[in-house]
Amino acid sequence: MGLVESFLGLRNKYLVTASLEDIEQRLQSVNPKTGRPFFTKIQKNNVRFVKKGLWEPFTFVEKAGEATLLTFTANTKLRWIFQSLFEGIIAAFVAIVLTYFVIPFAAPIVYASMLAVVLPIVIFVSGVLFMRIKQQRCVTNIISEINVLMNFKISACEKMPTKIRITPRNYLTALFPSLIGISLALVIAIGAHSLAWKCWCKGDYVNSERLCRPVQQIVNFTLGENNSIAADSNYYLAECLRCQGKNEEAALLYQKTLRETQKYLGSNHIYVADSYYGLARIRDVEKNYKEAQKFYQKSIDIYVKQYPDYLNIAKIRNRLAMLFLKQNNIERAEYEQREAIRIDKLYGKRNHAIAEDLNDLACILYHKENLQAARETFLKALNEKIYFFGRKHHSLYATLYNLKMLSEKLQNNKDAKLYRDWAQKCFDRYFPQTSVPEGDLCVKHICKRFHHQYEIPNIFRRYNATISLEGHY
């Protein structure tokens, strides 16, 4: 008697007061209605009889003194279905182990663990209950048929309890379906995560939020709210909310993420730094510059301990430079911005991030009243942007308009007109039907339209902090 029979309720043997030969003969008699035998005899090691059908169990017959012993077992198809469902549960536990011990804080594993835990358990429990009911009915019908087939009066089948014996299986056979289940769960998980990430990178924060919210709810329901997986799902949702301007809810999620990540991953983990950076961005928008500066600095300190020249440090220093510029701390702003340029150059001497860094540095130099250095730096930024995107890309607008304003201050009206017309052509190319006055309003319109490119941590697509000389950052 195996594990399958135990779950399906086939845990009893039946003793029939008739000889083995008589039972076999009667079971193989022809059904007058169908013209076929009631049972088909199969002899492999043991004598067993079977009726055709998915739910019909095998009926084993063996001699027990002067009586005959009947044992019911699940047929081959049902056994395969049960084992596949049971191995789904094994896959679930393997996925949990992977989640907590191998990759303790990766977003795709959130989806994988949910799929590997919830779906197999629900399917297994409902499938076993359904099969158990069907098997009990089939056994009852078979016992009734056996009694009818016997000509002489016999007592009802007596139940004899039997010991449960789990037959060992080939380990590779047991492991293969589990690996298939885990692989499928991971493929779906990575696909779902990639879709959410793709929406976020495109600036479709609404759909990205719609993908993140169900995951957060499922994680909290199945794993609880106090673990690294829940913290991970909260972080991604907070990012979506912040990018939509829902700062109050995002701040609460960032703070919750901080508590959990510090508890499970330590205070110096880079994911703690990410949460500090998100909080700093919110405080920056709220003009709470003291808090923002504190969170920016904490984020930088954690990154520096782990990866001194990590790409994200340049992005954070760039934001910190703009924060100091808003407070008119020009010297500190210039220091932070030059550090951002130094780090970005480690990832290639020419990239889009450096072009934006140079634009921001030139603005700082302008406010420092170092106009000639500002002009040279603006021109370097412009040349870098032209190198990557050509002469009509929307990213050129802010730098061109800054050069136009700087030229006016230097009383170079010819250059001012050149840069103004050039900037307007870049704007009209991407927004031909948009009636926005030239200048700072156009810069803000471009920033709003391509906001997602300010968020992506990619040196070839990132707009660190495009600013205008009129003081809007």
pLDDT of residue 386: 92
d(CA 224, CA 220): 4
Query: Is 80 exceeded by the pLDDT of residue 338?
Result: yes
Give residue-wise pLDDT tens across range 342-380: 998 888 888 888 888 899 999 999 999 999 999 999 999
Closest CA to 253 of 294, 211, 292, 282: 282
High-pLDDT (> 90) share of the chain, %? 23
Strand, coil or helix: what is 36?
A: strand
State how far the alpha carbon of 322 is from the alpha carbons of 149, 318, 467, in Å.
Answer: 92, 6, 9
Kindly state the DSSP code that residue 166 receives in the 8-state scheme. Answer: -
Q: Domain extents for the chain?
A: 3-166, 350-356+366-473
CB 160 within 8 A of CB 15: yes
b/e code 21-37 from CB counts within 10 Å (16+ = b) = eebeebbeeeeeeeeee
Give residue-wise pLDDT tens across range 87-118: 766 766 665 565 555 444 445 555 555 555 66
Q: Which of 161-170, 179-188, 338-347 shows the lowest per-residue confidence on average (mean pLDDT)?
A: 161-170
Instruction: State the DSSP string of 346-405.
Output: TT-SS-HHHHHHHHHHHHHHHHTT-HHHHHHHHHHHHHHHHHHH-TT-TTHHHHHHHHHH
Structure tokens at 127: 């499938």
Query: Is 50 exceeded by the pLDDT of residue 425?
Result: yes
CB 465 within 8 A of CB 318: yes
Give residue-wise pLDDT tens across range 435-444: 777 777 777 7
CB 62 within 8 A of CB 20: yes
In this structure, the dihedral spanned by the alpha carbons of residues 275, 279, 285 and 290, taken in order and rounded to 10 degrees, is -130
pLDDT band at 123 (very low <50, low <70, confident <90, very high): confident
pLDDT of residue 436: 73
Q: For residues 58-81, give the mean pLDDT.
A: 76
Q: For residues 56-61, give the mean pLDDT.
A: 77
Closest CA to 348 of 465, 458, 464: 458
Q: What does residue 58 show for φ and ψ, rounded to 5 degrees? A: -75, 145
Closest CA to 398 of 375, 377, 419: 419
pLDDT of residue 153: 42
d(CA 111, CA 115): 6
- pTM of the predicted model as reported, rounded to 2 decimal places: 0.64
Query: Is 50 exceeded by the pLDDT of residue 169?
Result: no
